[in-house]
Amino acid sequence: MHIVVCAKQTPSTTAVLAVQDGKVTWSDPGGSPDIANPWDEYAIEEAIRLKEQHGGTVTVISMGPDDAREALKTAIAMGCDEAVLISDDAMRGSDTLATSYVLSKAIEKLGDVDLVIFGRQAIDGDTGQTSIQTARRLGWTAFSFVSAIEELDVENRSITVTRAVEAGKLKAKAPLPAALSVLKDINEPRYPSFKGIRKATKYMSSDLRTWTAGDLAADIEKVGTAGSRIRWPEVYALPPKEGECTMVEGETPEAAAAALVDKLFEEKVI
C-alpha cells in the first residue's frame, strides 16, 4: 500500500488575525503562530494506522510557501515515512481548482498511490473541497465526511467507508485508488514521541524534497492565479457586536428564568 496524506500549514486555532488591504497576517502570543491544520492530524493518524495494519508506505505532501513546513514536520514526527513540499512562486494565489491540479500532478509523479487522505478542511480557507477536486482530476472516487474506514480490501482493491451525512451514517464502497476526507470522529491522533520529533527534525533538515511546478511537469497556465477562477479582493474582520449584554437577574432562579423568557418573547425568537 502507498498512502498519501495531503496536509497544510495553517495559523494556530488561537491565532490573533489582522487584515490590511485584503492581506491577512497573524500572531499567537500564547504559542506557535503556525501549526499543522488540526483536521489533517486525523488524516495522518488514519494513514499511519492503515500502514500498521496493511504494511506499505505513507507519504505526506503539502503545497505552500517555502517555509510552510509545520504540517510535514508533524506528519513525520507522528510516523509518516516520506514528506514532499510542493512550492513555487508560480503557485501563489491558487484557489482550490489550481491547488487540486498541483496536488493531482504530485500524486501522479509519486506514481503508485493507492489511497489519498485529506482532513475535512483547512481552518484558514475553510472550503473542504480540495479533496474532491483532486480526486476528480485523477479520475478516482472521492468520499467526503468519512467518519470510519470499515474495510480496506488490498487484495480485491476496494475500500468501504462510513460517511457522516445529514440523514445519518451512510456506508459506501468504491474501488481503489480513491481519495477520502476524514472527520474528527475517525480516530484519536497520537502525540509524536520524543524519538519521532528527533527524527522529524533531522528529516526536515536533510531529507525533505521540494518539488516545483517544473518538477511536476505542470502546465503553468493551470497553477497559481493563472489557473484560478476566483479572486478574493476584499477580506475584513467582522464588525464587533453592537451593544452590551443585558444581564437578567432575579431573586430566585425561577424569577430570573421568567424575566429571561419575557425578553425572548419580546425578541420574537420563540
What residues numbered 25-64 form the site for other proteins, per CB under 8 A? Answer: 38-39
CB of 262 to other proteins, least distance (A): 9
DSSP letter assigned to residue 138: H
Nearer to other proteins, 185 or 207 (CB): 185
Q: Which stretch binds other proteins (CB under 8 A): 57-65, 107-115, 208-216, 260-268?
A: 260-268
CB 134 within 8 A of CB 116: yes
Exactly one of 174, 197, 204, 208 binds other proteins (CB under 8 A); that residue is 174
Is residue 265 a contact point for other proteins (CB under 8 A)? Answer: yes
Give the nearer residue to other proteins in terms of CB position, either 191 or 232: 232
Residue 6's region, left for phi above 0, alpha for psi from -120 to 50, else beta, is: beta
Residue 197 φ/ψ, nearest 5 degrees: -65, -40
8 is a site residue for other proteins (CB under 8 A): no
Q: Is 217 among the residues that bind other proteins (CB under 8 A)?
A: no
Binding segment for other proteins (CB under 8 A), chosen from 43-51, 52-60, 77-85, 127-135, is: 127-135
Site membership for other proteins, residue 220 (CB under 8 A)? no
Dihedral sign (CA 106, 108, 114, 118) = positive
Dihedral sign for Cα 85, 90, 95, 98, please.
Answer: negative
| HSE value, Cβ hemisphere, 13 Å, CA-based, for 237 | 11
**Which of these ranges, 51-59, 107-115, 138-146, 211-219, lies near other proteins under the rule CB under 8 A?**
138-146
Instruction: Determine the Cα–Cα distance for residues 187 and 207; give it in Å rounded to an integer.
Output: 29
Residue type, 39: W
Q: Does 261 bind other proteins (CB under 8 A)?
A: yes
Distant-in-sequence, close-in-space partners of 118: CB < 8 Å, separation ≥ 6: 5, 6, 40, 43, 130, 131, 134, 179, 180, 181, 182
Run of H or E including 98: helix 96-110
Q: Please say whether the beta carbons of 77 and 200 come within 8 A.
A: yes
Size of the site for other proteins (CB under 8 A): 76
Query: Taking CB under 8 A as the rule, does residue 65 contact other proteins?
Result: no
Minimum distance from residue 142 beta carbon to other proteins (Å): 7
Q: Strand 82-86 relative to strand 57-63: parallel, antiparallel, unpaired?
A: parallel
CB of 84: closest distance to other proteins in angstroms? 22
Q: How far apart are CA 221 and CA 209, in angstroms?
A: 24
Among 33, 56, 125, 196, binds other proteins (CB under 8 A): 125
Please identify which residue in 74, 87, 99, 133 interacts with other proteins, judged by CB under 8 A: 133
Name the one range near other proteins by CB under 8 A: 51-59, 180-188, 196-204, 208-216: 180-188
Q: Answer yes or no whether residue 71 interacts with other proteins by CB under 8 A.
A: no
User: Contacting other proteins (CB under 8 A), which of 31, 155, 247, 251?
Assistant: 247
Q: Which three cell numbers stand for residue 189?
A: 491522533
Residues 89-118 that bind other proteins (CB under 8 A): 95-97, 100
